[in-house]
Amino acid sequence: MKQLYKEFKFQSAFLLVLSLVFISFSCMQKRDASKSPPGYDLSKPQKFVMPASLTEISGHTFYKGDPSVVYAQEDESGKVYFFKPGDKNISSTQFAGPGDYEDIAICREQVIMLRSDGVLFILPLAQVKAGKVTSVKTIGNILPKGEYEGMYADESTATIYIITKNSKADKKMNITAGYKFNLLAGNNVKPAGEFSISNEEVATLSGEKKKKKARFMPSALAKNPLTNEWYILSSINKMIVVTDNNFKVKDIYPLTRSQFPQPEGIAFDRQGNLYISNEGGNGSGTLLKYVYNK
């Protein structure tokens, strides 16, 4: 009888452990599963591995949505890189000294660089292509004190959008603030309004329990040319937040760490294909392309 009891206890314990393993594995699968925005499959990218010079790629863009050339920067050397996706030969042009450069945009034949402290550097695209920049307009003191990583420029309206990554004021109001500027002649900029995203809306859709303390820290943003929706990338949260044209949150798409180790840049080409760049960290930087399918 004792022997039967011991065997019963052993079998029960074994089944319990097996059940816990199965539940744990199921939860892991659920956490790792990723839904995708309509028209895209985030699990099936075309992957471009960056050379050593772009291991720390922190942003990228296109000239009028032309996908034949990618313009990018990394967050250290003060260079603009430009290359054909998949090409091993990458050109670069120095525009400034070392600094924490976080995003790049092109508007009205000008390249706009964003430094993490909110300072803008505006320089002619033609000079970048020629390999020698001789005129750079540096613009500071136009943004509240904070940390900035995301920028987008609308070619049709000459409007620059800059989103805050981190600031005390945002944390107090539980929002993520953004600022608009018009690009004027002479590479001057003029304030054109503000926008904000509700951190509580992001927290609710992402399942964050402590909604009032949601940590939404955007690393990049871009407008989908096919839907006019905003795609806002957050490296720390590992997600894409999609909003309508007025920045009302519509949905959230989680990103897997295996595929997105450090997503820092986002852009669309004129066909609506989506591109996300990842800093390499201990590996190589990558550029992931997601083809749009109706």
Beta bridge partners, 123, equal 111
**For the segment 252-285, what is each residue's pLDDT rounded down to a tens digit?**
999 999 999 999 999 999 999 999 999 997 889 9
Range 85-98 average pLDDT: 94
CA separation for the pair 183, 156 (Å, rounded):
11
Letter for the amino acid at 234?
S
pLDDT digits (tens, 9 = 90+) for 168-225: 888 889 999 999 999 999 999 999 999 999 999 999 998 865 544 557 899 999 999 9
Q: pLDDT-based confidence at 59, cuts 50/70/90?
A: very high
Instruction: Look at 180 and 29; give whichever has higher pLDDT.
Output: 180
Please tell me whether residue 63 adopts helix, strand or coil conformation.
strand
Write down the pTM of the prediction: 0.87
Which residues lie closer than 8 Å to 56 by C-beta, 6 or more apart? 74, 75, 76, 279, 280, 285
pLDDT at 34: 59
Rounded Cα distance, 151 and 100, in Å: 14
118-138: pLDDT as tens digits:
999 999 999 999 999 999 999
- How far from each other are the two terminal CA atoms of the chain, in whole angstroms? 67
Cα 7 from Cα 15, distance rounded (Å): 12
